[in-house]
Amino acid sequence: MRKLINSIASLSWLALAIILPMERLDAAAYAPEVTLSIRTQSGEAQELKIPESGLGTFTLKNGLVYGFRPTMHDDKGAGITVTIFDMNSTPVELAQAETGVGKPAVTTKTTPGFTIKVGGVTPNVS
């Protein structure tokens, strides 16, 4: 009986030694980057490449800084919420815009207003 228990314990450790490294590979595999084309009402424009749920910034000619955080709702980027922040003191959320890959540009009702278009999603593998 003792030999049976030891054999089962050895097999359990062997299974863990095989399965755990596989889980680590899956966890770090997908880290998409979202490309946003942003234009202000005054015509200033910038293209930002931002990791999904990361933060990219756009500095206007007058020195004011705004942040943009894309959050994907699927792995293709068909649904993306872009959260806009005023970064000029303590970051303050100004608005959210719903857009996605292949969808028309959206214009925020913020001051200043921003027109945002998703240029694409790059499925970076880390």
Which tens digits make up the pLDDT trace of 70-101?
999 998 999 999 999 999 999 999 999 999 99
Q: What is the value of pTM for the model shown? A: 0.76
pLDDT for 12-64, tens place per residue?
A: 443 434 444 544 455 555 789 999 999 999 999 999 999 999 999 999 999 99
Q: Residue 117's closest CA among 32, 30, 11, 46?
A: 46
Contacts by residues 27-30 (CB-CB < 8 Å, ≥ 24 positions apart):
28/126, 29/125, 29/126, 30/75, 30/123, 30/124, 30/125
Q: Residue 100's closest CA among 124, 119, 122?
A: 119
pLDDT at 29: 57
Q: Residue 48's closest CA among 85, 88, 74?
A: 85
